[in-house]
């Protein structure tokens, strides 16, 4: 891997104002990094299983809340498990959806076993081939500013691939009860919408 | 209208009345008319899925912002869903699937039987309540029951349109 980025610093650099978004993450490192950064804010829903679910779940949010900016954080292992979802996203073209794939080239949660992106697979090319209109790859910290501009300004849906060094995500013990986190997220969104 | 369009319209109208706005699907002859109606209606939107499990997560996402989705698929697609149904059971999300059967009563294609016969056991193993329709005169009540059990009572529900109801596909 050519990466020099420490994933534990990534979320604050990409999303200096995380409260502006509805945040959906996949399992493992993607969930931990964003949960730690936002202290598990009520605009964040994380997965602890259901691998492959992050992108379609974020798509369901984005299509049903078209006035919100929706961000999906996923890992390379999870995304490869549901590559077809990129085609599903491209077919419906939700302008309010950004997908960020934190690519460490390995299955960190299960012991760091090598994944396809450490060999030959390039998920940015896959996203482009699936028909996602805006695709960018980041491999070093000097690209953060350009990445923020991409997430703000590029026509949606957007796909940002961030190659990071292998290594542990941020330590954070999040709420594992999905029935509770569902209600926290849902009630916060509905209350905000009611309040205008 | 053909017989299929008549019962498809009954299902579609009831879903719209229940505020279902997102119609996700993997194409099947049995759900094609419902999908066409959803494409033409101004308060509904269709999402063509690459795999059925995406529809489970998509409907869960819709619920997170107070909207309602449905997942339409052929019985073979049920086999792609179990792990994603962890979301429904673990999060107590309401979830409505409409499954059009193959590998069931009168089926001639041997490839359809293994998954067709496993549909109800697989769904029930993941905590999904199955409502099967065999005759046209029970459809309306079954759709009402499925809508009540899912969106009112908060269960994961599959409305299963059997081949006794649909008719077996002739090759």
* Nearest beta carbon to residue A88 from set B50, B59, B69: B50
For B118-164, write each residue's pLDDT tens digit: 999 999 999 999 999 999 999 999 999 999 999 999 999 999 999 99
Q: Which residues of A135-163 are buried (b: 16+ CB within 10 A; e: fewer)?
A: bbbbbeeebbeebeebbeebebbbbbbbb
- The answer to whether residue A182 neighbours chain B at the CB level (below 8 Å) is yes
pLDDT for the residue A109: 87
| pLDDT at residue A124 tops 80 | yes
CB neighbour list of residue A22: distance below 8 Å, 6 or more residues apart: A43, A61, A65, A68, A69, A70, A71, A189, B65
- Contact B53/A at CB under 8 A: yes
Shortest CA gap B34–chain A (Å): 18
Closest to A88 (Cβ–Cβ): which among B48, B92, B93?
A: B48
The confidence band for B170, taking pLDDT boundaries of 50, 70 and 90, is: low
Q: Mean pLDDT lowest for which of A1-15, A30-44, A48-62, B15-29?
A: A1-15
* Option in B56, B84, B90 nearest A179 (CB): B90
CB contacts < 8 Å between A and B, how many?
A: 122
Q: Is B55 on the interface with A (CB under 8 A)?
A: yes
- Looking at every residue in chain A, the average pLDDT score rounds to 96
Q: Are A135 and A167 in contact (CB under 8 A)?
A: no
pLDDT at A195: 85
Measured distance CA(B95)–CA(B23) in Å, rounded: 12
Put simply, whether A186 touches B (Cβ < 8 Å) is yes
* Residue A24 contacts B, CB cutoff 8 Å: yes
DSSP state of B45: E
Interface predicted TM-score of the whole assembly (ipTM), two decimals: 0.97
Chain B contact for A193 (CB, 8 A cutoff): yes
A 10 A CB-CB count for A117 gives 23
Can you say whether the dihedral through the CA atoms of A18, A169, B65, A86 is positive or negative?
positive
Q: Do A61 and B61 touch (CB under 8 A)?
A: yes
pLDDT attached to residue B18: 98
Q: What percent of chain A has pLDDT over 90?
A: 95
Q: Which of A50, A191, A145 is nearest to B83 (CA)?
A: A50
Tokens of B96: 């409505």
Q: At B92, is the pLDDT very low, low, confident or very high (cuts 50, 70, 90)?
A: very high
Residues in Cβ contact with A25 at an 8 Å cutoff, skipping those fewer than 6 apart: A31, A34, A35, A44, A45, A46, A47, A54, A72, A73, A74
The pLDDT of residue B168 is 72
Percentage of residues in chain B with pLDDT exceeding 70? 98
Q: How does DSSP classify residue B137?
A: G
Whether B66 has its CB under 8 Å from any CB of chain A: the answer is yes
Name residues whose C-beta falls within 8 Å of residue A60's C-beta, 6 or more positions apart in sequence: B22, B57, B58, B59, B60, B61, B62, B63, B64, B69
Chain A closest-CA separation from residue B52 CA (Å): 10
DSSP-assigned letters across all residues of A81-142: HTTHHHHHHHHH--TTEEEEEEE-SEEGGGT-EE-GGGTT--HHHHHHHHT-SEEEEE-SGG
**pLDDT the model gives residue B45:** 98
Region A142-164 average pLDDT = 98
Residues A18-32, mean pLDDT to the nearest whole number: 96
CA distance B158 to B135: 17
Q: Which of A45, A46, A49, A53 to mutate to test the interface with B (most CBs of B within 10 A)?
A: A53
- What pLDDT, on a 0 to 100 scale, did the predictor assign at position B1? 85
Region A58-65 average pLDDT: 98
Interface test with A, best of B57, B62, B88 (most A CBs within 10 A): B57
The set of residues, in sequence order, having a beta carbon less than 8 Å from that of B15 and lying 6+ positions away, is B23, B70, B143, B147
Q: What is the pLDDT of residues B16-52, one digit of tens each?
A: 999 999 999 999 999 999 999 999 999 999 999 999 9
Q: Indicate the pairing of strand A134-138 with strand A69-75.
A: unpaired
Residue A165 sits at the chain B interface (C-beta within 8 Å): no
* Separation between Cα atoms, residue B26 and residue A43, nearest integer Å: 30
Q: pLDDT category, B65, cuts 50, 70, 90? A: very high
State how far the Cα of A129 lies from the Cα of B161, in Å rounded to an integer: 36
B169, pLDDT greater than 70: no
Question: Can you give the pTM of this predicted structure?
Answer: 0.97
């Amino acid at each position: 891997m050519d990466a020099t980025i420490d994933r534990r610093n990534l979320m604050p650099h990409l999303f200096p104002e995380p409260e502006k978004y509805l945040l959906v993450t996949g399992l493992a490192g993607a969930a931990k990094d964003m949960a730690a950064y936002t202290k598990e804010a009520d605009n964040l829903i994380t997965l602890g299983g259901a691998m492959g679910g992050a992108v379609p779940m974020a798509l369901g949010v984005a299509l049903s809340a078209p006035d919100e900016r929706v961000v999906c954080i996923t890992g390379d292992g999870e995304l490869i498990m549901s590559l077809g979802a990129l085609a599903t996203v491209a077919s419906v073209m939700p302008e309010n959806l950004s997908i960020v794939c934190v690519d460490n080239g390995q299955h960190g949660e299960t012991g760091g076993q090598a994944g396809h992106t450490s060999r030959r697979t390039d998920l940015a090319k896959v996203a482009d081939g699936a028909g996602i209109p805006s695709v960018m790859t980041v491999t070093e910290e000097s690209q953060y500013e350009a990445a923020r501009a991409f997430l703000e300004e590029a026509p949606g849906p957007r796909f940002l691939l961030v190659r990071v060094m292998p290594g542990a995500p941020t330590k954070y013990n999040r709420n594992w009860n999905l029935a509770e986190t569902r209600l926290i997220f849902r009630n916060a969104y509905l209350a905000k919408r009611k309040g205008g | 209208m053909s017989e299929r369009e008549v019962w498809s319209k009954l299902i579609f109208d009831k879903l719209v009345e229940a505020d279902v706005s997102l119609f996700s699907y993997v194409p099947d002859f049995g759900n094609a008319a419902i999908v066409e109606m959803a494409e033409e209606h101004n308060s509904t939107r269709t999402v063509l899925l690459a795999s059925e499990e995406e529809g489970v997560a998509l409907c869960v996402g819709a619920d997170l912002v107070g909207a309602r989705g449905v997942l339409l698929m052929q019985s073979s697609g049920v086999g792609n869903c179990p792990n994603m149904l962890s979301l429904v059971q673990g999060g107590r999300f309401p979830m409505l699937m409409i499954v059009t059967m193959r590998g069931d009563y009168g089926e001639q294609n041997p490839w359809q039987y293994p998954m067709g016969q496993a549909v109800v056991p697989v769904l029930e193993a993941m905590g999904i309540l199955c409502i099967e329709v065999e005759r046209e005169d029970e459809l309306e009540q079954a759709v009402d029951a499925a809508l009540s059990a899912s969106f009112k009572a908060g269960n994961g529900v599959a409305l299963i349109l059997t081949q006794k109801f649909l008719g077996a596909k002739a090759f």
